[in-house]
Chain A
């Protein structure tokens, strides 16, 4: 580290859990963020600021005016620009030390294995069940630890998955809800600060994973109610009958959940 870097990361370096060695682990770390939206925005900003050396970011979308109420990495002049480019500019502006790799594409069974292969830790910041199940399956099958996040209206939930060691998303939800079974998010809304809370927790998990410090959010689903400012933890266990990480898996390769391609589904209350 040069003098500038020592100064930049000084608040990290004085932490005994980080220190110079830990900061080096962050430099050497490779984290992939799938989705450059509500969750992806704070994740990308904080990981860049923290000095995570290589950050991949995947999203096929362009910035839209309706994104700006919560996707804090995108600014008004970015409207119409690819989200991954808009995100890259801010991440590099925060921290030129960081290498940002952009994937301007939707993830699918056809490309996910290639994309996740280069990373140590994956973060799901997507807004649909097809992607969430695909990420779970691909990460479990490839043995890649990852953070799941989901938000809606005033509620969010997140869990970290260590494949074959801790409960995965399909241990909780064996299959996606049928398409259109549940109304969509653009109808249901989301309070703008919510992805900031959940995304920041997901970024924390990536950083702790790279540092090898603390306890990851495994085998417990953290739920958050913004209306009540209540966090709850639901203890979970891996399930022997899980279709992907159980004893007799029926899913042995990443596949697209074609019945679940509805964007951003609703938890009805």
Chain B
């Protein structure tokens, strides 16, 4: 199925069990324990990662910590 990740169309295998949390693991997303996930325009609270399914056509943004400035 197709989803959008950080603006890129991405094809992932069908998996009705998949949650946002398992997607992070599946894609080996960096900063996995700290990344913020926005799903279809709404930022998820971290406890929701494990309970939120990923559906065809979802628009997902991974937002990363960037702490530099000096």
Q: Do A and B bind each other?
A: yes
A residues with a Cβ closer than 8 A to B are: 35, 37-40, 61, 67, 71, 124-129, 132, 149-152, 155-157, 171-174, 176-177, 181-182, 185, 190, 195, 221, 232, 234-237, 239, 241, 262-269
Name which residue of chain B comes closest to A268, CB basis.
B30
Residue among B43, B46, B67, B68 having the largest count of chain A Cβ atoms under 10 Å: B68
Number of residues in B with C-beta < 8 Å to the partner? Answer: 22
Given contacts A239-B43, A268-B30, contact A234 B38 (CB under 8 A): yes
Chain A residue numbers with a CB within 8 Å of B64 are 267
Contact B45 A124 (CB under 8 A): no
Is A268's CB under 8 angstroms from B70's CB? no
Cβ contacts under 8 Å, A265 to chain B = 65, 67-68
Q: Is the interface of B mostly helix, strand, loop or mixed?
A: loop
CA distance A267 to B31 in the complex (A): 7
- Pick the contact of A129: B6, B38, B65 (CB < 8 A): B65
Q: A155 contacts which chain B residues (CB < 8 A)? A: 66
Q: Which residue of B lies closest to A126 (CB)?
A: B69
> In whole Å, how far is A129's beta carbon from the nearest beta carbon of chain B?
5
| CB of B22 closer than 8 Å to a CB of A | no
Could you tell me if B69 and A35 are in contact, using CB atoms closer than 8 angstroms?
A: yes
Q: Which residue of B lies closest to A185 (CB)?
A: B68
Q: A126-B70, A157-B66 are in contact. Are A232 and B6 (CB under 8 A)?
A: yes
